[in-house]
Each structure stands twice: as C-alpha cells, then as structure tokens.
Structure 1
C-alpha cells in the first residue's frame, strides 16, 4: 500500500533543485505530503527513503549534460528495480525532468526501462507546465488548484516593457549591433577602470564546456574574445574542479559535468591565454568549495583574476546546499579569510548570497537581509570595491514591481553598511528559470528583463543567454545574446524617461519601506547574538553582525533560513508564497495566506 506522498531528488549530485520545489508546492496544495532529498551521488539515499516512506509519487531530475542525464536516469531505474526497491506491479508513479534535449533522447529509451517513467515536457507557457504537474499528481479538483496558481505564475507587470521588448527583437535587427570597444592597457588589469571606460554596463557571462579536456573551452573562449562581445568570462568550472583542483588523480573514474574540468595551474594559465585576443576579456573561475585562499594565489599566478573581480559566497557551497564537504560554520570562517585575501590584493568582491536564497524560496526580507550581511562582511574584511549582484525574475514568479522594490531595499542596506572610501558596483542578470524553452519567446524575455535591469542603473550586466532553458550556452549563443542585450540597452536609453516614471509607483515605495522595516528588525535579532551587542540605530549594528561566529549561530538557529533548503539541519519550518505583483511573502499557510512579520516567525519557531 503506497502513501499519498511525493519523494523528489536530483540525480548525480545535480545542485539544481528549484524544479523539485515547484512540483512539491503543487503537491502540497492537493494535500500530498512531500519529502525532498539533498543532492547526492549515491542512489542508496533515494532508495532508502522510498523503502521508508512507500511513496505514491517519485520525482527525479537532472539539468546538466543531456547524455549524462540519460545515463543517470537509466542507472537509477535499473537500481531501483533490480535491488527490489520498486516492482513493476507497484502502484507507484515515477516522473523525470531534464533539459529538452534530455527528454527527447529519453523518449526512445524509456520503453526499454523495467519501470514506467513519465517524462516532464518543457512548455513555453508556465501555466501549461503547471497543468502537467497537476495531472501527474492525479489531482481531482484541477481547476481549483490551477486558479490558485494563476496569480502567482503571471504577476501584473510594467506594460511598457512588453511593447519595447517587441521593438528589441523585431526582425532580428539586434544582430547588427557593433562589437565592444577594446579597453585601454590600464583597464585590462583593473576591473573598475574597465567599468569606468565602458559607455554601457560591462558584460560578463558564464562559459565552460563539460568535456574530458579543457580544449573545447579554450577554443570557445577564443571565439568569444575575437567577437568582442564580453568583458569578463566567468569560467564555468566543473564540479570536480571545484572540489579536486590540484589533484588530477581525484578526477579519475568520477562523473564530470557542469563545466570545464581544469585540473592544474597550467590548465588555468592556458585558459587565461585564450582571452588574450579580441577585446581581451578578463577571466574569473567559480569559487571553489575548499582551500579558497590557496586557490586565489594560484589564480593570481596564472593570470586568472587579472582585471577581473571574484565571487565568494557567505553561507553556501557546503553541506547546506550539498556542493561542498564543509559544515556551514567551517565554510563561513573560510569565506571570511578568502574575502580578506581578495581585499589584500585590491580585487573587487561579489558575495552572491541573495541569488542562493532566492533559489530556495526565501521570502523577500531574507533577500534584503542577505544584502545587508554581505555588505557588512565585505566592509570588515577591507573590500574597497563591492559588487552586488541583483538577479531579476528569481524565482520566476517575482514581478517587476516586487523586483524593483526588493533591489532598492537591498541597495539601501548595501550603502548603509559601507564606509568612506568604499565603492559600490551594481550588477544585474536575468534568472535562468524565467526563460522559456521556446527560443523566440526567450529572446523577447531576455530583452524585456534587460529593460527592467536598466532601471537599477547597473555597472555590470551578467549575460544569461536566451538558450539556457534548453542547454548551456555555446559561443554562438553568447555572441548573439550579447548583441540582443546591447540593443536592449540602446532601446532603454531612448525611452529612459518614460520607463523610469514607473519607479515613482507607490507600490514600489510602499514595498521597499516595508522590507527595510522588516530587515532592520531581523538584523537587530542577529546582532543580539553577539556578546558585545549594544542597542542603537541599524547602522551601528555593522560590527555585531559581520562576525563569523555570530553568522554561523544565526544559520544554525534558523534565524536566517528558507523553506527550500533541503538539508534538515538548516531548513526553515515556515511557508513562503508569491502574492500580488509577484512579491514573495512569509505567510501563515499556503491555501488562505496571511502575511506575517519576522517577529511573528521567530516567535512561532520559539526563537524569541
């Protein structure tokens, strides 16, 4: 007898868990209990949970390389069947979600699997995706559940941006955009000078090809550099590189995916040399999950980080998200040291925690609080040039007005916890999950998102290519997306006065002020953990909150948390929901939600 329960897991340690949360949200609306597992390489954890809970519904996903996704799903199904975890006569429904190419490849394979698997199609319309999920869960009152989802799936936005997005993509005229200028010699070794010289926000992008060698990525970087479309290549690092760099023997026999598998300092230097052409884009690798300080030295010795900035998380890339081996407390202390080391060499620093929280259904107050905390940490660590990344449309239910209010509140605290001599650089990007697998529609979405981002006067735009709902961007995709974004910037400047009138909308001001008030309360509660705490205005809390021990305790005690964290040690036991205009709120329940305050949340969880 199966229980009315949904178990979901990504395969092969894939860290992309947002789809699981989306499916679980719909299941909960229908009264189905949900168990979401941490990303893991080992299928034994998934099978153990299936044996323990006897679920009616099982969901698996893999959103990296399609060929590997097919192998991992077949491996999982065979393991479940031949180990006797699930029999073909059991009343169990299994679904799998992946990139469109993965789904297409599997259509010819699943008939030969020993267990029936339903494949989640990729739809260009978010409501169609929701309908498919509702059908999988055998929900009887489908229309009622769909009506509950409609308002949050399609929040009311700025209509002028819709019209101008049409202009951006009209007849593919954006393809005629000229290449970027070549920076001065000084700007090639100074990221902030490159920003100052550029007539538009500097453009960066992730790029790294999963392969047995670094050669395809080297050739791709050369193509991008020659096209003069990117100012900074953020090296998409293999998950193995992030864990085992400097130990090539550790790569043997392990699944390599997620990016380029550089193994040695020479590999990094060869990748850097590939950028020495065209407009000479700088190169920065992903942050590693261990030994960060030594890796910073290696980057400086090999040319990586020359004329670049670097991103380091505050709370992430550890056991909390499954991307690294350390505890949260261990990684926070190491991340502090890494930020101090970068500051010592005058390298601009970005701490991208707000994006991580958004991926895990944190409510907007947690996002704005994270901007305050990373700003405080960068200040005490001596960072001169702070980069704040603002990822729009994340989660994808976020509306225009909600994004603008949230980011304004975040930047208020970014400035509040800065001191004389520090400079703030605003970086914007599109949320990948908001892009449609329909490439034509995705181009329109990317252009529209860029218009919204320009309302925040960014110094940097991180290019998310329009193809990324389907596959990781290739050089041709990045080149084309750069041209589209540059056309969007031009269209924005032509209509800037009209677009920025929307910033005067009372919705934005009221929401910003609400988030500031809630964030001030939460910051004070975090500061009180510090034995040196003295009451005072919010600006006086900087030294109390920018403390590795205090922040570790705040995470461990769930003062800062989110319902989408899968590790039960850190998961938030509360509910968040997108509401009118796409504002992500803390609520008492999902069905008939009432917004509750941070004071009430902490009281409910017995933290007050």
Structure 2
C-alpha cells in the first residue's frame, strides 16, 4: 500500500504529516512526502504520477480558507476523474470543515493518540466496508500490538444508568474491554433472589436481576469500537453464572478465584473446601468451553496484606491449577502498589518473579496473557493526587510488557466511577502507555530488582515444597489448597479474625519490600516461618 501526503494551500506546517507518515512506514506502507505549500494542481499532478492508494492532506490555517480550498479540491478531482481514498489532518476547526465536505474517508483533528492512527492504518473492513473489530481476546490483542488492550469496569446504581454508560464508553472508542460490575446482591444471590436484601440494591455495582439486563448491556456495547464484554463471576453458583455470561455477553474471559468468595472473605457463606471445589469446577467448565480464564487469587491475598512470598506462591499455584483444569488461555493479573508502601523497585521484582514462574508453564495448550492494574488502595482521596498515582502506576507496570491494562479510575478511592471519570482516566493511562512504548530502561538488569526477584522465586519454592508435604492428590487439588490455608502455609494478617484461616503471620514493609516478620518486627525467611509454624501446629 502506498500513501502520498503533503500540506496543501499556503500551509507550511509539516509536523503532523511527517508524524503520520512515520507511523505509516512502521506499519509497512510505502510513503511519499511531497512537502508543504502545495497547490491543488501540483497535488493532483503528484497523484497521477505516483498513483498512490491513499492521499493524505493537511491544512491548519483557518475555517474560511479551508472551505474554499476543499471546494477547489473537489471540483479539480471531478474534472480530472481522479478517485482515491482521501485522509485529512488539521485542527479541530479545519477538521470540522473537512468532515462536512464529504471528501474524506478519515479526518484527524490532532486530538488523537498515536494508537488511534495506527488502528486506522491497520483497519480491516467487512463486506459492508465497516471496520471489523476482533471479538476474541487473543485476536484483539494481536490486532493492537504493541499497544495493550484497555479495560475498565462499570456498574452504576441502576441498570438504565449502567446501560447508558456502556453505550457512551463504546462510542468513545477508548476501551477494548468493558467489565460489568454487578452489585453484591446479584453476585451472591442472582439465582436465589429471595435471599436478597432490598436495602442493598445497587450497593457496589449495578442491580442486574434478569437475563435481559445482561443482554441489554451487550446490545448497548455494539457501537463505536465494539469492545469485548465481560462480567464479574458471581460469588456463588459460579457454574450457572458462567453459562449465563457466555450466552448473554460472549464473556471475553471468566475471573474466578480458588479460595475466595467463601467464609475466607465473607463474600458468600460457602464453607472453604466447598468453595474451592465449586470454583475449580467453574474454572474447568470455562476452560472446556475454550473461554479464557483469570484466576483472581494472588492479589486477593495481597489485599489482605500477605507478604510477597505468599503472593508469588499463590500466583504460581493459580496458574498451575488453571493448566491442570484445562484452561487454554490464562489471564494473569498483576496488581501493582499492593500492599501500600511497597516501593516501585520491589513491586517490579515481585511482578517479574510471578511472571517468570507463570510463563514457565506455557506450551502449545497453555497461553498466558499479562494484565496489569493499579492497586485501588494506593489511590489518594485527593483527586489530583489520585490522577498522578494512576499515571505513575500504569507507567511502572508497562515495564512487564502487558497485553492488557486494567485502568482504575482516579476517583475510585472515594466513589464509583461514571463514564465521565472512566474516559478521563483512560486518556491519562493511554498517555503513560504511549510514553512507555517509546522505550523504557531495562529494569530487569537492575541489580536490586534481579536479586529480589530471584529471592522471591526461591521463597516461593520453599512454600511449594511445604505444600507438597501435606498434599492430598494433586498439588492444586481442593483438599491440598484447603489444608495449606488451614495450617497457615498460606496466610495473611488481614485474615486474623477469620475462623477458617490461621491468621497468625505478621507482615511489614521493610526497605520497600513486603516481608514476613517475627514478634519483634524483624524480617524472617520462609524456612524460619514455616518451621515455627510446623512446631506451633504440632503443639
């Protein structure tokens, strides 16, 4: 494909055209730059000489002069019988004129991010000539490389408000994935609605009560860039929820924990062993249907202030469980800035330790997708400070080459996000992403990061070996995981009041690291912690 481009009329500005041609060359186009201050006759002579597939013209000097210039262009094209795909670039003012002229296939007004231009250059069309947006996760990821997919969640106080927000988010073209956030009544009691507490309708999410509610959300998303749709899994009846979401949303992937949504966290009343069995059955069902699966396990431990070794171990165990249960595409989530106080260096070391262990399991039947997100607990209540934290977190997370960036709106420390705050937050995140894609230092070569990463991998090995000694059947069987929690091999300070967990471990941030500590607050390794734990369990 060949693109010819230049600035027409008396316009001397060239930066926009040159940037566009640079992006086009990177996408494999042959490019021809004919300069600035190009008269219409010279433009058409160049078109006839070069015979390009696409002609890109730029003009920035004013509305009235642009109108006159484009009228001349239209007449001259007709007189010479030239028919080409035309693209326009300019200011908001001149772009509006170009849109009204009807001459151009695509008009850029300067507000677009590089990613949007690249997506246009890659655009595939269907039989109707409309852009064909991939509707499976791996295809969508491939279509946007090197840019990660953008995900955000939405769940407002009413179904109507959520539906309208989904439509606006899709029309914005900024999100590739919209995650629906149902209220807790829905997540826990959708299939047993007689148990719902009406005073809690809309608390924490949208009050979806009917199959048709999910169908409405999907229909609302069929506009703009046709984002992938998905939804939280529910905290009980996970198999029924999985089928519902597959049939109504074409669920992009399922997110199901191993131990959570049970008596462990109080988000359902299921006993822990029963919950682990149910959760693994739902994971296996989705895997068997070819639906990608995220096991949202490790960051739930981190949110209860577990030390880094347990977080790394639970991330690795979750991936091993996914592979054993037949998951073919595994979405590995990395929540940064968690627990609060961890330094960016040690956060990266922890993420890289998890990533290397998880990706060691990859093979022909097991593909790993990397998803990063800011930690909600890291967002300050002050909105300006929260904006800064969001950008900082996304920029740091780009160091592990994510396929998906799960944006968390800057306002979520104090209130749920509407489509307005989500769009603002996504734009901030995209700017951080675009800067990072230009080139980051290789932090994998940093001595402290490398050493701490290796240390965490060795500590994870100690935990895995301890679980091997008490396992029943497979290492990731429900009975084995249950015993690992009950005996305190897997433990977190935030579970100290939970009767089903040991809740005996102490943790602290020391030199930016999330560590297990003894009664005096001194850092201890896993061998020491587990040896002491073994003695306490015997007593």
TM-score past 0.5 threshold: yes
Who is 2:351 aligned against?
Answer: 407
Match of 2:523 among 584, 588, 595: 595
Query: For each residue in 1:489-514, what CA deviation from the matched residue of structure 2 results, as whole angstroms up to 9, or x when unmatched?
Result: 111123x2xx3243321111111111
1:247 and 1:459, CA in 2 relative to 1: closer, same or farther beyond 3 A? same
Contact 1:358 1:394 in 2 (8 A): yes
**2:198 aligned counterpart, secondary structure:** coil
Q: Partners of 1:530 and 1:252 in 2: how far apart?
A: 40
Who is 1:548 aligned against?
Answer: 478
Who is 2:392 aligned against?
Answer: 448
Normalising by structure 2, we get a TM-score of 0.73
1:179 and 1:273, CA in 2 relative to 1: closer, same or farther beyond 3 A? farther
Contact 2:134 2:143 in 1 (8 A): no
Contact 1:247 1:264 in 2 (8 A): no
Larger Rg: 2
1:579 and 1:175, CA in 2 relative to 1: closer, same or farther beyond 3 A? farther
Query: For each residue in 1:42-85, what CA deviation from the matched residue of structure 2 results, as whole angstroms up to 9, or x when unmatched?
Result: xxxxxxxxxxxxxxxxxxxxxxxxxxxxxxxxxxxxxxxxxxxx
- How far residue 296 of structure 1 moved from its aligned partner, in angstroms, is 1.2
**2:441 aligned counterpart, secondary structure:** helix
Of 245-254 and 380-389, more deviation after overlay is shown by 245-254
Q: Partners of 1:324 and 1:526 in 2: how far apart?
A: 26
5+ long unaligned stretches in structure 1: 1-173, 533-543
- How far residue 387 of structure 1 moved from its aligned partner, in angstroms, is 0.8
- After TM superposition, list the pairs within 5 Å mapping 1:229-244 onto structure 2: 229-244=174-189
**1:337 aligned counterpart, secondary structure:** helix
Who is 1:278 aligned against?
Answer: 224
Mapped pair 1:604 → 2:529: no
Mapped pair 1:426 → 2:354: no
- After TM superposition, list the pairs within 5 Å mapping 1:287-366 onto structure 2: 287-305=233-251, 308-366=252-310
Q: How many residues align?
A: 415
Q: Partners of 1:287 and 1:343 in 2: how far apart?
A: 14
- How far residue 254 of structure 1 moved from its aligned partner, in angstroms, is 3.7
Who is 2:509 aligned against?
Answer: 578
Who is 1:530 aligned against?
Answer: 471
Match of 1:564 among 489, 494, 516: 494
Who is 1:508 aligned against?
Answer: 449
Contact 1:179 1:227 in 2 (8 A): no
Q: Partners of 2:133 and 2:476 in 1: how far apart?
A: 32
Higher relative contact order (CA 8 A, sep 6+): 1
5+ long unaligned stretches in structure 2: 1-109, 127-131
- After TM superposition, list the pairs within 5 Å mapping 1:119-518 onto structure 2: 177=113, 180=116, 181=119, 188-199=134-145, 200-211=147-158, 214-251=159-196, 253-256=198-201, 257-305=203-251, 308-494=252-438, 496=439, 499-518=440-459
Query: For each residue in 1:259-286, what CA deviation from the matched residue of structure 2 results, as whole angstroms up to 9, or x when unmatched?
Result: 0010121111111111111111122111
**1:233 aligned counterpart, secondary structure:** strand
- How far residue 432 of structure 1 moved from its aligned partner, in angstroms, is 1.3
| Structural RMSD (CA) | 2.1
- How far residue 253 of structure 1 moved from its aligned partner, in angstroms, is 3.1
1:564 and 1:251, CA in 2 relative to 1: closer, same or farther beyond 3 A? closer
Contact 2:487 2:502 in 1 (8 A): no
1:215 and 1:249, CA in 2 relative to 1: closer, same or farther beyond 3 A? farther
Who is 2:99 aligned against?
Answer: none
- After TM superposition, list the pairs within 5 Å mapping 1:18-57 onto structure 2: none
Of 283-292 and 179-188, more deviation after overlay is shown by 179-188
Query: For each residue in 1:293-351, what CA deviation from the matched residue of structure 2 results, as whole angstroms up to 9, or x when unmatched?
Result: 1221111222340xx11110111011110101101111110111111111111111111
1:255 and 1:446, CA in 2 relative to 1: closer, same or farther beyond 3 A? same
1:187 and 1:561, CA in 2 relative to 1: closer, same or farther beyond 3 A? farther
- How far residue 419 of structure 1 moved from its aligned partner, in angstroms, is 4.0
